[in-house]
Amino acid sequence: MSPLATALQSCDMLLIDGLHAFDFTADASGLTVECMDGRQLRRWVFSAEQVAAAVAIADEWQLDDADGAHRLVCMSAFRAPDDNDNEADLDEPAGR
């Protein structure tokens, strides 16, 4: 597995060409990314060979396709905890 493919397995969000993308699929066939740019749906498809050939530049990756070079940053999204320990019990009436 290439370094970028490994990084894609642990990230929740991508920044591609300056756009935030939550909808992406990274698997053995390559990388597919979709996001909205205003009202326009943008879509990038990279083959497994293009992902393997990606070049790391600082905290970014450069991927090349027929349209040229694209900048990609792997990011982690913040998630709220699933536990409800800090919430009031809704079964009990409010004290008034």
Rounded to an integer, the average pLDDT of 65-77 is 93
pLDDT recorded at residue 76: 87
> What is the second-level CATH architecture of the domain 3-75?
Roll (2.30)
If one compares 71 and 91, the residue with the highest pLDDT of the two is 71
Q: Model confidence over 6-47: pLDDT tens digits?
A: 999 999 999 999 999 999 999 999 999 999 999 999 999 999
Burial of 62 (0-12, 13-18, 19+ CB in 10 A): middle
* Tokens at 18, concatenated: 């300056």
Neighbour order of strands in the sheet with 13-16: 19-21, 13-16, 68-75, 60-65, 55-57
pTM of the model: 0.77
pLDDT recorded at residue 45: 97
